[in-house]
Structure 1
Amino acid sequence: MEHLSEAQLAVDDVEADQLLELAVDAARRGGGLAESARRAGVDVAATKTNDLDVVTRADIEVENLIRETILAQRPQDGFLGEETDEVPGHDDLTWLVDPIDGTVNYLYGDPGYAVSIAAYRRGTPLVGVVYGPALDELWAARSGGGATLNGLPVRTAGSVSPAQPLLATVFDYDPTARVRQMRRLADSAVVIRDVRVSGSTALDLCRVAAGRVDVFCTDSVHWWDVGAGIVIAREAGCQAWARQDPVSRHVSCVVSNPTVSESVLSSLGYAVVPSC
């Protein structure tokens, strides 16, 4: 393994701080647009996998604003967002963006939605920002720099019930996958304390970071859903695993309070390995 000099490490820290500053600015801009559009009235622009999987006009507008904000300063970077075409980069850094994570919440007027922005280099997480404008919550982290909520440090405390964790999850829009997930949840009922389904993966990962829930797990998300939250949770002291199915392209993800044992986690039925 190459050993970096103090000067090289300092440059890396400076770059990471700059990336985080840019991510925060883009998230605030995107979140402001999303909240203004929500107050004006939400319009469904299209559906994706089925009629339940909706895209609002604001999803597209917010992603375009975020992409323009980031690439105006860093035109050499790649950009992978949920709603628009991928932009190949000219170096090895890629931005992962979910413009409105929790679109169904957004559609129904629930404040539990967020802008999620992460920067990864060659698969290694550098920064993550999750901004819930309606909740007035800005979660941010950079690799090695810790995690914050509205500028204050976030560090995960031990769970109050690690042997029976409070579980958060999300469900797939595909009916067959949803039945499978429901059965898995039923099998886990005797192990967990209770279950929470908030509708926003990005915010759920931040809730694990803050100790509001003990475990988040699913097998039906994408990298743009979890990219930022994984950085924040890890920097807060959580355990995090994720991997992508090569066929479906879905990402399986488990993020956990550090006091929850691997044996308890394995009993939940999500077989993931450290990969990011």
Structure 2
Amino acid sequence: MLGMDLQAAHDLAVTLAVQAGRLQLERRDTLRVGAPKAHANDVVSDVDIASERLIVDAITAAWPDDAIQAEEGHGHPGTSGRKWVIDPLDGTRNYISRTGPWSVCIALYDGDRPLVAVVHEPVADETFSAITGTGATLNGEPTLATSERPLAEALIGVSFQPNPRTKARAGRVLNDLLPHSGDIRRLPAALNLAYQAAGRLDGGVCLDTNLWDIAAGALIAREAGVTLGGPTHDFTTELTIGAAPALWPALSERVRASA
């Protein structure tokens, strides 16, 4: 038995994501950037760490038996069978350089099954969220992916890790995809998926992500009617392809051929 009120879990995740987003806005002018992590483009700031601590501390206080998997290392094992997956600041390069959007991402799993998801975009003050089986919302209002544009007119989101191997892979995908699509937008993975859920993007591709990059966005997208897949039927952190149902066959076929 799950033994948890999913609405309460959702509401706490929304509250914490908004609080973390407010902290990020308040501290943007005084942030300190630390040493790169996995590679030169994998940056982290003291605001990432403070945001994660805020979220982890509150979830641990509410559900101390739950496991937490968090990007900046504040996770811990649990005994309940549930796991919170947290990216406190998805899009750190955008945040630091002031060149694009970023978000706060919180997802709850029971085993391998996603239950709750929140993606909050601080600058726009927009919160995308979902509880499994109940649909997706944007600031509390239902949202659906209903685009019927063909690939030649479609706006496609593209997300990828900026390490040398993945950049080369993304180059192959874009070389094949861009001439055949309406246009592309490069975005952090969570917002790529959330924007598909809201119908702002017709489809999207995420390459070589981590679970915390896509966990929340994927549930929100699916609950909004986005078709998700990967190298085969299921999407993976290696390859996540999303699209409105009418676009899915054409987009997935083209991306799989080059990814």
CA distance, structure 2, for counterparts of residue 228 and residue 206 of structure 1: 9
Using structure 1 for the length normalisation, give the TM-score. 0.85
In structure 2, do the counterparts of structure 1 residues 111 and 185 end up closer, same or farther at CA, with 3 Å as the change threshold? Answer: closer
CA distance, structure 1, for counterparts of residue 128 and residue 251 of structure 2: 28
Q: Please, which of 154, 161, 183 is the counterpart of residue 165 of structure 1?
A: 154
Q: Which residue of 2 aligns with 1:30?
A: 20
Q: Do the aligned residues in 1 keep the contact of 2:189 with 2:206 (CA within 8 Å)?
A: no
CA distance, structure 2, for counterparts of residue 61 and residue 25 of structure 1: 16
Q: Which residue of 2 aligns with 1:174?
A: 163
- Whether 1:260 aligns to 2:250 is no
CA displacement 1:78-125 (0-9 Å, x = unmatched) = 000111143101111100100000101100124511100000111111
Letter in 2 for 1:15: D
Using structure 2 for the length normalisation, give the TM-score. 0.91
Q: Please, which of 223, 241, 246 is the counterpart of residue 229 of structure 2?
A: 241
Q: Do the aligned residues in 2 keep the contact of 1:159 with 1:211 (CA within 8 Å)?
A: no
Q: Please, which of 73, 78, 84 is the counterpart of residue 95 of structure 1?
A: 84
CA distance, structure 2, for counterparts of residue 242 and residue 101 of structure 1: 21
Q: Do the aligned residues in 2 keep the contact of 1:162 with 1:261 (CA within 8 Å)?
A: no
Moved more, 263-272 or 108-117: 263-272
Q: Shift in Å at residue 164 of structure 1?
A: 4.8
Letter in 2 for 1:34: Q
State the identity as a percent. Answer: 33
Q: Shift in Å at residue 32 of structure 1?
A: 1.5
Q: Please, which of 24, 30, 35 is the counterpart of residue 46 of structure 1?
A: 35
Q: Shift in Å at residue 180 of structure 1?
A: 2.1
In structure 2, do the counterparts of structure 1 residues 271 and 143 end up closer, same or farther at CA, with 3 Å as the change threshold? Answer: farther
CA distance, structure 2, for counterparts of residue 165 and residue 42 of structure 1: 37
Q: Shift in Å at residue 160 of structure 1?
A: 2.7
5 Å-filtered alignment, 1:63-212, equals 63-110=52-99, 112-162=101-151, 164-198=153-187, 200-212=188-200
Q: Which residue of 2 aligns with 1:21?
A: 11
Letter in 2 for 1:31: G
CA distance, structure 1, for counterparts of residue 223 and residue 152 of structure 2: 23
Q: Do the aligned residues in 1 keep the contact of 2:227 with 2:248 (CA within 8 Å)?
A: no
Q: Do the aligned residues in 1 keep the contact of 2:151 with 2:180 (CA within 8 Å)?
A: no
5 Å-filtered alignment, 1:216-231, equals 216-231=204-219
Q: Shift in Å at residue 270 of structure 1?
A: 6.8
Equivalenced residue count is 255
In structure 2, do the counterparts of structure 1 residues 173 and 163 end up closer, same or farther at CA, with 3 Å as the change threshold? Answer: closer
Helix, strand or coil at the partner of 1:20 = helix
Q: Which runs of 5+ in 2 are unaligned?
A: none
Q: Which runs of 5+ in 1 are unaligned?
A: 1-7, 244-248
CA distance, structure 1, for counterparts of residue 102 and residue 178 of structure 2: 27
Q: Shift in Å at residue 214 of structure 1?
A: 1.3
CA distance, structure 2, for counterparts of residue 52 and residue 166 of structure 1: 26
Moved more, 110-119 or 99-108: 110-119
